[in-house]
């Protein structure tokens, strides 16, 4: 059994932990994992790091734990030369840095650890230091209870998500959801390649684009033809398997899908062709049992706090798997729900 870690980005910590939880479940990791602030520890035989880093929007980096001690004074004694030689090649470059999570260790002590460990690696392995673009990244994580030396990999996904923000897409509309939250929502339903995902309020296709990058087959429905045309343009640029339909959520022209991920119009005053947004959401949730292939955790919906999505879901008889509040600014709080039938 190996020990691995994830380091969250710091945005929406409860949402980030939920995202990691779902992704580890997809890997069928049943062993319990522990959180210490933004640091999560996962014990498993199979390496979960590549999957998590390529899927999670809110994980900054992850890797394997090379050594673990209760005191920073024991770091160098517990970390063997064999482990260093096994993980760092003599022709590779490396960096050492420290992270303090719920630890009272001073900055000077952390810098001393970085310097001492770096000098030892150069002596034992013969590798060279590169602080800007190292091939091997070592981090020493200090927490209240222990110290871990880890081999870390930075998220390759997060820079991609920044390049996939609404303003970077072929078609842009201010109502489009950002790429990071779209990816999180897809992860909260455990979306997998080749599954069919429906967004019945797809607009310009922000959510569908992230689902497509995961490899899902996407179906988007909206009444606004201009936005639908933009959604088609965005999805075509990805080269994905998609269907775009001009339609009304109250009369869904689809019989089966694996999951639903959607961001309906906000506010009690929001309307679509005369129908209030809340009425449209109620109509959708009342019909999900008849169209969803899988039942557990198969719906993720985001809306304004004014919509009272929790109350709507409970009244219809849906089970709330996840509930998170995301403060956008002083006048707007979003509610993020993952639902089961």
Binned at pLDDT 50, 70 and 90, residue 268 comes out as very low
Three-class secondary structure of residue 194 per DSSP: coil
**102-127: average pLDDT:** 91
- Fold topology of 2-157: VC0802-like (3.30.2130)
At 272 the pLDDT is 56
- Taking the CA atoms of 140, 150, 95 and 118 in sequence, report the sign of the dihedral they define: positive
Residue spans in the chain of domains classed CATH 3.30.2130.30: 2-157
C-alpha gyration radius of the chain: 23
What kind and span of H or E run contains 326?
A: strand 319-329
Is the full-model pTM beyond 0.85? yes
Residue spans in the chain of domains classed CATH 3.40.50.150: 164-340
Span 164-340 CATH architecture: 3-Layer(aba) Sandwich (3.40)
Task: Give the DSSP letter of residue 335.
Answer: E
pLDDT at 85 over 60: yes
At 71 the pLDDT is 78
Mean pLDDT of the chain: 92
Query: Phi and psi at residue 169, in whole multiples of 5°?
Result: -80, 160
pLDDT at 105 over 90: no
Binned at pLDDT 50, 70 and 90, residue 238 comes out as very high
Q: How far apart are CA 270 and CA 306, in angstroms?
A: 11
Q: 315 vs 70, 310, 312, 320, 330, CA distance in Å?
A: 50, 9, 5, 11, 29
């Amino acid at each position: 059994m190996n020990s691995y870690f994830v380091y969250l980005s710091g945005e929406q910590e409860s949402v980030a932990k939920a995202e990691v939880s779902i992704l580890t479940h997809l890997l069928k990791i049943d062993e319990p994992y522990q959180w210490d602030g933004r640091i999560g520890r996962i014990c498993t035989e199979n390496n979960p790091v590549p999957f998590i880093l390529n899927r999670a929007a809110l994980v900054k980096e992850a890797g394997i734990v090379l050594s673990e001690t209760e005191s920073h004074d024991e770091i160098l004694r517990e970390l063997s030369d064999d482990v260093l030689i096994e993980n760092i090649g003599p022709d590779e470059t490396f960096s050492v840095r420290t992270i303090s999570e719920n630890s009272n260790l001073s900055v000077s002590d952390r810098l001393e650890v970085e310097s001492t460990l770096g000098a030892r690696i150069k002596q034992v392995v013969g590798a060279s230091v590169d602080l800007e673009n190292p091939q091997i990244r070592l981090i020493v994580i200090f927490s209240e209870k222990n110290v871990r030396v880890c081999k870390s990999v930075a998220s390759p996904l997060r820079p991609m998500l920044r390049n996939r923000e609404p303003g970077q897409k072929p078609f842009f509309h201010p109502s489009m959801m950002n790429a990071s939250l779209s990816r999180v929502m897809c992860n909260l339903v455990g979306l997998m390649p080749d599954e069919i995902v429906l967004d019945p309020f797809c607009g310009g296709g922000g959510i569908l684009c992230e689902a497509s990058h995961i490899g899902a087959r996407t179906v988007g429905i909206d009444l606004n033809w201009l936005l639908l045309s933009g959604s088609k343009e965005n999805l075509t640029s990805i080269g994905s398997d998609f269907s775009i339909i001009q339609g009304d959520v109250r009369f869904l022209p689809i019989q089966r899908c694996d999951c639903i991920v959607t961001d309906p119009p906000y506010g009690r005053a929001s309307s679509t062709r005369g129908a209030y947004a809340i009425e449209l959401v109620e109509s959708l949730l009342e019909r999900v049992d008849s169209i969803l292939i899988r039942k557990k955790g198969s719906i993720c919906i985001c809306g304004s706090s004014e919509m009272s999505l929790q109350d709507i879901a409970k009244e219809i008889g849906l089970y709330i798997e996840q509930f998170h509040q995301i403060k956008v600014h002083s006048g707007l709080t979003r509610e993020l729900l993952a639902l089961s039938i």
